[in-house]
Structure 1
Amino acid sequence: MKRALISVSDKAGIVEFAKKLVELGVEIISTGGTAKKLIENGVKVIGISDVTGFPECLDGRVKTLHPNIHAGLLAMRSSEEHMKQLEELNVTPIDLVVVNLYPFKQTILKDGVTREEAIENIDIGGPTMLRSAAKNFQDVAVVVDPEDYDTVLKEVEDKGEVSYETKFYLCSKVFEHTSHYDTLIANYMRKQRNANDFPETISMTFEKVQDMRYGENPHQKAAFYREVGNTKGCLTNAKQLHGKALSFNNINDTNGALELLKEYDEPTVVACKHANPCGVGSADNICDAYVKAYKADPVSIFGGIIVANREIDKNTAEEINKIFVEIVVAPSYSEEAIEVLTQKKNIRVLTLENILQKQPDTAYDLKKVSGGLLIQTIDNELLPNDLEVVTKTKPSKEQMEDLKFAWKVVKFAKSNGIAIGKDKMSLGVGPGQVNRIWACKQAIRHAVEHLGADSLKGASLASDAFFPFPDCVEEAAKAGITCIIQPGGSIRDKLSIEACDKYGIAMVFTGMRHFRH
């Protein structure tokens, strides 16, 4: 290795790296701010203009886009013709490229950034040099990540060059990096156009948060990634205060609980198990809300996940500590609450600011299928503006509030789903059944087992999709349920309406369903 080109925005460690290269007999070419920093720290540098014979111009937009640079990168050392041409053109080969790019991501994440500022931070020469070097990786080592400085230095010191295996590894990192960079730019431009259609091709980019111990099952590998952009209120921004690292299933289940929690403005606690709500309670304070969520299903909440939209105080923490739960997430905790919760070794305690902030309507919901990807806009809606009361009996104001409460719960239960609620408390949830009557019977049975048969008197029932038959109305009537909310739209709607009128049940059609698969 004889010559290296260094041009970096992230200058962490670059002075020490360059000094060591010089000690190993490598001459350094550099540009702009990088050259200035190296010179200030006593590193001998050849200016880029001395190599190209052309001055940097257009406020630095054009520096390295020159044949003297790219011929030095792309010449195949094994080709006699290439090397002869370099000699005729008086071009010196470049053996090492160290480049990281203009901070486009950091720029677009700043509050109030303008389009002009974002565009000015789109690197042109950097990706071009990286791609040239990476294409010719068998002859040129290319470093885009400061974490690789030590590896390169050790191999050059030990062998005088970087091994083929390491150069191929570095090459693959370059194309991952430039792909990520270009995707950020493309997605930014798309958002600037306010495009809400689905493009003919789609590229997305995510950044690793952590490797997981295992996936959905112990024999599966997994990792957790975050989107690039504003992810306020998302689990990727949560801070863990106590407990071991979250697992794959912990993250998936907690995300489901948080999505449901965002539907409630008043003090609310959601208990979740296997991505399904098992207890939901709203009250004037967070402790009473937790007690409701617990009473809704004291069996399923054991080993489950609890999320709250208000600060956890000491009283609430003491109630939570009466059972074993996997995770507690809240916007904040009192000092006393932290002292109580951390008495248990295995509980994970997380804090999440902006816990009620929903994703924008432009966000995507992704589902991986074998050989493909399903993409849809997220289900940010809850109810249409106009609800239709289709029965002779009309719901009271209190019953309408109960219907809306139960509708929020069933929106986040796996389909087919039924949720029953009363007085701002879920009484029973029947999620993920292959037919609706099973879901209905399950929700009723849960309520009876945990709260007693009388708990269902005057309760409200929500169904995530229409009733194909009147059987759910029959079951609801036997249990004492007095109002129902469902999308409607079945060719047999009349049968369900007639059954409701027979038993004096109020029924509301939403005209909107919430399947969740």
Structure 2
Amino acid sequence: MTETRLPVRRALLSVSDKTGLIELGRALAAHGAELLSTGGSAKALREAGLTVKDVSEHTGFPEILDGRVKTLVPQVHGGILGRRDLPAHVAQMAEHGIAPIDLVCVNLYPFAATVASGAGDEDCIENIDIGGPAMIRAAAKNFDHVTILTDPRQYAAVIASLEQGGTVLAERRDYAASAYAHTAAYDSMISRWFAKQAGETLPPVLTLSGTRDDLLRYGENPHQKAAFYRDGSQRPGVASARQVQGKALSYNNINDTDAAFEAVAEFDEPTVVIVKHANPCGVASATTLEQAWIAALRCDPVSAFGGIVAVNRTLNGATAQRISKIFTEVIVAPDADAEAIEVLSRKKNLRLLLTDGVPDPTAEGLAFRSVAGGFLAQTRDAGRVTEADLKVVTKRAPTAQEMKDLLFAFRVAKHVKSNAVIYVRNEATVGIGAGQMSRVDSARIAARKSEDAAKEAGERAPLTTGSVAASDAFFPFADGLESVVAAGAVAVIQPGGSIRDQEVIDAADAAGIAMVFTGMRHFRH
């Protein structure tokens, strides 16, 4: 059965983003449509040689209140909302001189761009569109008779439909769904801006929106469906990255890459983070990225195979050459030089992502997690401990180098799944225990992995010998501390706050090690 196509006899075009506007206008005019428009859109169409009728001329009512009211009139909304299949509607439209509008093309005032520019409240408020959302919602509601366009990426398909005589119902329904998503996202941005202005980090009603960037092959597992959405934030990372090479990112790639890049952003010196299954398996800072890579890989070369690598400096050729020697899924960096790009181009499947910046680990923001019937929202863990925050609780204080390593270890702990115990020596991890139900098990696993790494490196003593250790939360009993000491640690950093803190302190003093309390924990579930 042939689908009924609706021709476009009259179109209203009023857009902030004028991408593709002229091409659309020409196609509509070529198929006999009268063009209605306003302001800058009308000017652009006329300059392209098209005949345009101002909305104020069409309605017989001038723009007033500095343009705040120009389309909020019956001649516009009646022309959009009137049902052509109801004789009563058709009669009323004719009685009041309301001409049908068959296509509405609107995108909204650039509110997000205005806010991002640092504009003041008055400018932001003036960039809250009123007439645009009203027309979009009206056209979307009447999709049986009206085509609504809100995205320049839709224009080519509509132009193709015009060539065949007009749009069909399935197309118009799809455009209507996109239109309501468009206005919902717009209102969400505005709602969150007002909440922020009022100092409400977690408002009574929290609206979220995202634009689907890509449908992924599957989710965490092949039987799960997945997609990647962008939320419009300006934070450098996997969402804003430019993919230089490699096959499409998977769900797990995206998740792990985000974990790696957020972790590497914690450090000021040239740093490399290697992540496997969302946990760091090697982290090191050094005077060069190449040296940092060597030290990070030494921590756990087995787990690094098939991992994600993040760096916080421009990736150079020498470092890229070393990384390319093992199978790596993704490399993410703020930038890469020509030599590094050439070296990695030989690894066709390796994804190279360049972000043009590093995220600020202390910046405000919200993090979310779904639960049955809702979701949890919390502020991002932007906590950062400095030496001035530390309290020495043992008879022996850490040396200068131990203090440096303790702070390094605690920053790593922030990005390791709880329970987490991390061993560090010379600003490089030498053992990482992650995600165990018992902190003792985390300490022991990290120590065992350091023994394996030592054997891989041809060393007799475990890498943890002479290291410092960090725990993401307090030791509830002395046994966790004793496990760390048994692994060879000589200093410990932990939040403190257990009712058995004194028991743990006594155990540290008995072992002759130094221990400091941070007063801050970094659970990561």
State TM-score, norm by structure 1: 0.93
> Equivalent residue of 1:281, what SS?
strand
Q: 2:215 aligns with which of 208, 211, 214?
A: 211
Q: 1:441 aligns with which of 441, 444, 447?
A: 444
Which whole-Å CA distance do the structure 1 matches of 2:151 and 2:240 have between them? Answer: 24
Q: 1:82 aligns with which of 69, 80, 89?
A: 89
1:154 Cα deviation (Å)?
4.3
Aligned to 1:477: 485
Asked if structure 2 preserves the Cα contact closer than 8 Å seen for 1:419 and 1:461, the reply is: yes
2:281 maps to amino acid: C
For residues 8-19 of structure 1, what are the structure 2 equivalents within 5 Å?
8-19=15-26
1:134 Cα deviation (Å)?
1.6
Q: 1:429 aligns with which of 417, 432, 453?
A: 432
For residues 365-514 of structure 1, what are the structure 2 equivalents within 5 Å?
365-383=367-385, 385-451=388-454, 452-514=460-522
2:295 maps to amino acid: K
Aligned: 1:104 with 2:107: no
Distance change >3 Å, CA 45–CA 464, structure 1 → 2: same
What do you get for the CA RMSD once the two structures are aligned? Answer: 2.2
> Equivalent residue of 2:192, what SS?
helix
Distance change >3 Å, CA 402–CA 8, structure 1 → 2: closer
1:81 Cα deviation (Å)?
2.8
For residues 223-372 of structure 1, what are the structure 2 equivalents within 5 Å?
223-231=227-235, 233-355=236-358, 357-358=360-361, 360-361=363-364, 363-372=365-374
1:373 Cα deviation (Å)?
0.9
Gaps of 5+ in 1: none
Provide, for residues 365-392 of structure 1, a one-character-per-residue CA deviation record: whole Å limited to 9, x for no partner. Answer: 1112222111000111122643222222
1:197 maps to amino acid: T
Gaps of 5+ in 2: 1-6, 455-459
2:107 maps to amino acid: N
Q: 1:198 aligns with which of 196, 202, 224?
A: 202
Asked if structure 2 preserves the Cα contact closer than 8 Å seen for 1:5 and 1:94, the reply is: yes
Asked if structure 1 preserves the Cα contact closer than 8 Å seen for 2:406 and 2:469, the reply is: yes
Asked if structure 2 preserves the Cα contact closer than 8 Å seen for 1:65 and 1:125, the reply is: yes
1:184 maps to amino acid: M
> Equivalent residue of 1:177, what SS?
helix
Which whole-Å CA distance do the structure 1 matches of 2:341 and 2:93 have between them? Answer: 68
2:189 maps to amino acid: L
Which whole-Å CA distance do the structure 2 matches of 1:215 and 1:98 have between them? Answer: 35
2:195 maps to amino acid: R
1:31 maps to amino acid: T
Aligned residues: 512
Aligned to 1:183: 188
> Sequence identity of aligned pairs in percent?
47
Asked if structure 2 preserves the Cα contact closer than 8 Å seen for 1:261 and 1:356, the reply is: no
1:133 maps to amino acid: A
Which whole-Å CA distance do the structure 2 matches of 1:323 and 1:146 have between them? Answer: 43
Provide, for residues 48-90 of structure 1, a one-character-per-residue CA deviation record: whole Å limited to 9, x for no partner. Answer: 2232222223333221111122122222233333333223222
Which whole-Å CA distance do the structure 2 matches of 1:321 and 1:151 have between them? Answer: 43
Which whole-Å CA distance do the structure 2 matches of 1:407 and 1:206 have between them? Answer: 33
State TM-score, norm by structure 2: 0.91
1:454 Cα deviation (Å)?
4.7
Distance change >3 Å, CA 290–CA 156, structure 1 → 2: closer
> Equivalent residue of 1:455, what SS?
coil
Asked if structure 1 preserves the Cα contact closer than 8 Å seen for 2:195 and 2:203, the reply is: no
Asked if structure 2 preserves the Cα contact closer than 8 Å seen for 1:30 and 1:45, the reply is: yes
Distance change >3 Å, CA 129–CA 485, structure 1 → 2: same
1:155 Cα deviation (Å)?
4.0
Aligned: 1:70 with 2:73: no
Distance change >3 Å, CA 28–CA 428, structure 1 → 2: same
1:108 Cα deviation (Å)?
2.8
> Equivalent residue of 2:221, what SS?
coil
Q: 2:225 aligns with which of 198, 221, 227?
A: 221
Aligned: 1:148 with 2:154: yes
Asked if structure 1 preserves the Cα contact closer than 8 Å seen for 2:431 and 2:463, the reply is: no
Distance change >3 Å, CA 353–CA 139, structure 1 → 2: closer
1:508 Cα deviation (Å)?
1.6
2:450 maps to amino acid: A
Distance change >3 Å, CA 306–CA 46, structure 1 → 2: closer
